Amino acid sequence: MRDMNPRNSIRDIPVSSSGHRRNSHQQERFEEDIPLPRRRKGSRRFLWIMLGIIVICAAAGLLLATLFEGATITITPKMQSITPPANIVALPNAGGGSLGYQTIALSQSATTTVNATGTSHVSKAASGVITISNVFSTAPQSLVANTRFAAGDGKIYKIHSAITIPGAKKSTSGTLTAGTITTTVYADVAGPDYNRPNATTFTIPGFKGGDKYIKITAQAAAGAIQGGFVGDQPSISEVDMKNAQATLQKTLDASLRSSVGTQIPNGFMPVQGSLAVDYSDISQSKGEGTVVNLSQTAHASMAMVNASSLASVLARLLVTGYSGEAVEFASPNPLILQVSTSTGNVTTGPLNLLLQGNPTLVWQFDKQALKAALLGKDKNAFEEVISTFAPAIEKAKASIRPFWKGHFPTDESKLGVVIDAQ
């Protein structure tokens, strides 16, 4: 039977209010422990990181642009191969598009010994080489034989042969560069008093009172004028003297020929066959016993041609449309220049030169002017700037660093010019 006791009814089971409150408290605590969303905080950190990367990259780019900024301009100049004429005339004082030549002077001394055969009384005048300079005129100046030269102490020396001093060369600014020639002078009086141990300046008394007296002068190096003697000295047989002279001159000639080529300055080409040698009188001094020391000095001059001038003259003769631009030979000595056997005086008169070779001409331009024209320019202006250097520049290309730069550097040291003359 069913128990009808009301205590046992499920509806009468009391519900604990404390348990209900506990569950609500737990729920509230649970709800409070739920963390807030972190998405916003993570987004900020990401943004800061990205911003830092951007700043670092910008700084690195700026540093690279500063350290490695620069530009290289590669130039292909105008070039043309030519076949020169068989011969051409060079003048000591060229002008108006003609070819000129200059001379280089040098001296060598040699000594030998012979045995004396006795004694003899000797009266000998001092002699030596002087260099005469002309800044009076661009025209050559002629001096007759026995023209007098006066030293500062009044002693007189003379030349024995007529000479012609080349005219001065005038630059575009009007400045004159002296025309020069070397020659031998002889003391007017015999004896040691006319020997000159020191460097000496000479004037020409015949020009006194005029402008030539100041502007045509001569110089002798220290010890260049020697040999003056009066008195007894060991005598030498004619045969021994002749043999000694031949030995000395052979030695001097070989020495001069081997050394003259090394004296040619840069930018000049030697003229083969133009070496002219002037031998001084033999001087003698006593050695041990009967030995006599014989000395002789040789003074040589050789013609040389300015390579740039020759290139310009040949361009004017052989290149169509050439209008006087600066040109050079592609190699230092592309031609052999030789004096024709029909040429006379190789130091004062015109030289008929024989030419051998097939040189290439290279047009020149001013690198510094090109750099100055490009500094700070937009790269789009490159072709316009290059066109102003025509016809010297046939082709050009530019490489700017870093690649994103749109203009050439403003610092000249960061702008390089390379010549591609293949």
pLDDT tens track, the chain, 422 positions: 444 444 443 344 344 444 444 454 444 444 455 554 555 556 777 777 778 788 777 666 655 555 568 899 999 999 999 999 999 999 876 666 789 888 888 888 899 999 998 888 889 899 988 999 999 998 888 999 999 999 999 999 999 988 888 888 887 777 888 988 888 899 999 999 999 999 999 999 999 999 999 999 999 988 889 889 898 888 889 999 999 999 999 999 999 988 887 888 889 999 998 888 888 888 888 888 889 999 888 888 888 999 999 999 999 999 999 999 999 999 888 999 999 865 545 556 788 999 999 999 999 999 999 999 999 999 999 999 999 999 999 999 999 988 888 999 999 999 999 998 76
SS3 10: helix
**307 vs 80: CA distance, rounded Å:** 16
416 closest CA partner among 182, 150, 70: 70
pLDDT score at 422? 66
Q: Name residue 270's beta-bridge partners.
A: 304
80 closest CA partner among 388, 300, 318: 318
pLDDT score at 10? 36
pLDDT score at 17? 45
**199 vs 414: CA distance, rounded Å:** 50
Contact between 91 and 100 (Cβ < 8 Å): yes
Parallel, antiparallel, or unpaired for β 336-339 and 268-272?
A: parallel
231 closest CA partner among 179, 191, 275, 281: 191
**226 vs 339: CA distance, rounded Å:** 33
> Alpha helices, DSSP H only, in 187-237?
212-215
pLDDT score at 393? 94
**129 vs 150: CA distance, rounded Å:** 14
Sign of CA dihedral 260, 139, 204, 185: positive
pLDDT score at 216? 96
